[in-house]
Structure 1
Amino acid sequence: MTPGCWIDPATGEPVAHQEVLKKAAGASVVLLGEQHDKAAQHRWQLHVLAGLLALRPDLAVGYEMFPARLDPVLASWVAGDYGREDAFLSEAEWGTVWGFPPELYLPLFRFCRQFRIPMHGLNCRRALVTDVGKLGWDAIAEEDRDGVTPALAATPAYRRYLFELTGGGPPNRKAQGPDDPAMDRFVRAQQVWDRAFACRIAALRDTPEPPLVAGIIGRGHLEFGHGTPAQLADLNVGSVVVLLPHAGREPPREGLADAVFCMDPGEDDQATEAGTR
């Protein structure tokens, strides 16, 4: 795969950068996947956001990294409050709610602040994920659901995807297949995140003048139309574009995303931005 180009997984053919951005800018929602610890992938996200902003000044960005309850903190950051970045990160409870090195994400946060792009948290409280995984949605009182509605049931294809994503079926693994009831708890928990992100995005779109919502989300919630894209469809949010970075040397599998960007496999994935200021 040639680094620096977009590929349409449906055809395996290159797609012009301008064409990808034009299609994405015409959508309602653009989901930009990532591996959380890869600095190069966050740089790619930043470049795509910059391109989208040039075409859609009504851009808003939602982050898996923050729970929705922290939206007032994110709004203050975008408005220019917090003289120091470490003060913002402290107020945003970064070390508790996410914990990956902030240098990986600060370029994205600085971009939103500089251009006054609204930032929103897409996540829910972590205890909800644990409780639904363990007990199921029916055991969770309405007032404890953090504004998240029960997820659309996982398809057999999504269960297979999650089973393989988490290592398949080694002899020492409790779940020996995607349909094994031992997978149920993990699938339910994963789908709380899928649904939470979708519910937050749907709410952002449910306004008289809905913005283009870009979601910064781990790719495991986005690939092959499973996860958050499926939950958005269940919430009647249409025109969703999924874009992913692709560091592999093999062509992307059909259906992986609407388009993938071929990364340089040798690109330094260490955070290179200056620290917090």
Structure 2
Amino acid sequence: MTEPTGDPQPLLQAQQVDVVRDGRYLLRQVSLTVRPGEHWAVLGANGAGKTTLLALLGALSHPTRGQVRVLGRQLGRVDLRELRSYLGHVNPRHPLRSPLTVRQVVLTGITNSVELYPRWQPTDDQAAHAESLIATLGIGHRAEAPWTTLSQGERGRALIARALMPAPRLLLLDEPATGLDLTAREQLLDSLDDLRLRHPELASVLVTHHLEELPASTTHALLLRDGESVAAGPVDEVLTTELVSACFRHPIRITRSEGRWAARAAAKSPAR
């Protein structure tokens, strides 16, 4: 299969998608369209269907009903393994156990493997690309550090650099700030903002259930509740107090300052 060509818009399109497992709907009539340069956040409580949707968008599974097109190719009519090679999928639970260096981990993005292949060597251009990404993600000073010595935040940024090695048009991030302390989270989000600025055609979908984990460069949002879409569209229209409260079934007050969001439980009215 050759890389999908033609009209680059949209990069992702899910239309009226259902996912049913053991008679239970994990997703019901969910639609989403992602175009170049858009950065989507998918939010919802635990069990809302976020990970299930990301698996569809990342060509890891098929819908029960509906249509999903990834980079112009319809799932069910294409080799999923080859299609995945054109996507940057960041899994914070990367199964590496050996002490590869940050540089080596990033280079495994070329071979799409956990370990480096024996006797494989990157080209000069590939090595230079890896160095550039490592610097962009703010971990240049740790390029020679073994994976086993990295903090969770450093691992997260190394995995984003790894996912970007094949120069994908789409980056999928599954709760990338999970387990990070405050400093590491802020470093990660700053790195994502910088990355998006440097690569304006790159699109991304980031899954989380914390608004504080959204980069300021987020452009669109999808709210999921019990596998169904509550709202989808430009971020300022979707991340509102009313819609987020409906999504999480709890009164939540949303504020935004210097491009970043915060959520707090809304004050209860005094009893009369």
TM category, shorter: 0.3 to 0.5
Q: If each structure's helix is expressed as a fraction of its own residues, which one has the higher value?
A: 1
TM-score normalised by L of structure 2: 0.36
TM-score normalised by L of structure 1: 0.35
Bigger relative CO (Cα 8 Å, ≥ 6 apart): 1
Q: If each structure's strand is expressed as a fraction of its own residues, which one has the higher value?
A: 2
